[in-house]
Amino acid sequence: MLKYDDIWNPLQEKLSNHLGIEVIQAEGMGDKPEYPFVTIKKISGPIKLGTTRSSIDNVGVKTITQDIELVYSITVNAQVIEEAEDTALKAQLYFEGRGYEGLMVSGITIVDVMPPENRDVFLTVDYERRIGFDVKIRTTWSESYGVDTIDQVILGGEN
């Protein structure tokens, strides 16, 4: 079974380590971190790809698997636009290079990285500078459960 943290934890930890700044869930509860920081938000998915595959092992455990895609929004929040743009570019290049390889260890494949765009927001008397982009990822979902099996079939037996 694919859990939220199976994707969130590797994305958050590896991007935070690469950038050297805090990475948090967008629209989450809690205090806002010091600038600059990055927010991540799942904006679509899971989208099924191809066909669902299933198999039954020799002890009666059925496993179904499905390739899926999800899209995450990555947004850099800063006080000045230059810092937001520089950090967003560094994050984008991470997903196209080192992150592509590093996330594969967690079963996550980067499919596409969209171009960065301005996502500034007006906060009462000033702007919070935001530059963001979307990342499309692919992973495999699986579920296993026990099933009853027929051990023996006798054909042509007595009536």
CATH number at residue 89: 3.30.2000
> Residue 98 has which token pair?
């080192």
**Residue 141 near residue 108 (C-beta atoms within 8 A):** no
Cα–Cα dist 26/72, whole Å: 10
Cα–Cα dist 45/136, whole Å: 10
pLDDT digits (tens, 9 = 90+) for 1-54: 778 889 999 999 999 999 999 999 998 888 889 999 999 999 997 889 989 899
- 0.85 cut: is pTM over it? no
pLDDT digits (tens, 9 = 90+) for 74-106: 999 998 999 999 999 999 999 999 999 999 999
- Range(s) of the domain holding residue 16: 4-146
For residue 155, is it within any domain? no
The predicted structure's pLDDT at residue 60: 83
Domain count, the chain: 1
116 CB neighbour count, 10 Å cutoff: 19
For residue 77, is it within any domain? yes
For residue 127, is it within any domain? yes
